[in-house]
Amino acid sequence: MTAALPLTLCISTRDAGDVLEGCLESCAGWVAEIVVVDMCSQDETRAIAERFGARTVDAPVDRFAEPGRQRGIEAGTQPWMLVLDADERASDGLRRLCERTVKRDDVDGVWLCRLNHWFGRPVRHGAFWPDRKLRLFRPSRTRWPPELHTEPVVEGRIEEAPADPRAAILHFTHASVHGWLRSADVYTDVEADRLVADGAGWLRRLLIHPVGRFVEGYVARQGFRDGALGLAVAVLSLVYELLVAVKLWERTHPPRAPGR
């Protein structure tokens, strides 16, 4: 067995016992350290983390993972860090990419590709491929803003990994439409709250973003090449933007009193 890479695997969790083991298994034996940033899980998440020798860092409960990312960065002791979510896996090609990267002294961060699986099927075209994420970096040169869907800020040289599905993060998201609806409800709430704070207008958002999102993913980025799955992903992306716009309207137009 080869020596573990000088790399901290950092995972943010909350009640992720049903998927965490697969994530940890995909990195077992080749990372020097595992840090799990846990937001008060009530299931077996912490016990699973302990079985893999992970160190658990507590974080306050939040609606999304980003507020806890910085805690993980600060907790790591290795010169490099790989960040995954509990429903993600490291492919064999990603392991080899990490092995090459940690030997270099001319790079401080790498944009990795993420291959998303919707409803158990890989999305190989459209807006969700190559879905680049800045998840491999030197933690000593990195900070992570706490807002939804932010990327870390890395001081230094950053490069992009090739768009190769064999060397991607494997993301097993949205096992069902029901699961998509649950997560979309949470994330569109966060998006709408942010837009209210920014003073955004709901009508412009409604008229431009849903159709624009559909056209970008399904036509411009050839989501149609994924067949029925590509159409479903594009339609749900349109629905997501509709929800953001309508929730923005709801927040900026309080209900009238009865009889008025």
Instruction: Calculate Rg over the CA atoms of the chain.
Output: 20
List, for residues 98-110, the tens digit of each pLDDT value: 999 999 999 999 9
Which pLDDT belongs to residue 191? Answer: 96
Instruction: Answer yes or no: is pLDDT of 162 > 60.
Output: yes
Q: How confident is the model at residue 258 (pLDDT cuts 50, 70, 90)?
A: confident
Q: What percent of the chain has pLDDT over 70?
A: 98
pLDDT in tens, 85-98: 999 999 999 999 99
Instruction: Write the burial class of residue 189 (CB in 10 Å: 0-12 exposed, 13-18 middle, 19+ buried).
Output: middle
Could you give the domains of the chain?
5-173 (3.90.550.10), 177-252 (no CATH)
Cα within 13 Å of Cα(226), Cβ side: 25
pLDDT at residue 2 in the model:
65
CB-facing half-sphere around the CA of 199: CA atoms within 13 A? 0
The single residue listed with the structure tokens 């991607």 is 168
How far apart CA 59 and CA 61 sit, in angstroms, is 7
* pLDDT the model gives residue 255: 83
Measured at the CA of 244, the angle between CA 176 and CA 85, to 5 degrees, comes to: 50
- 137, 5, 6: which is closest to 72 by C-alpha? 137
pLDDT band at 260 (very low <50, low <70, confident <90, very high): low
Residue 259 has pLDDT above 70, yes or no: no
For the stretch 32-91, pLDDT in tens is 999 999 999 999 999 999 999 999 999 998 888 898 899 999 999 999 999 999 999 999
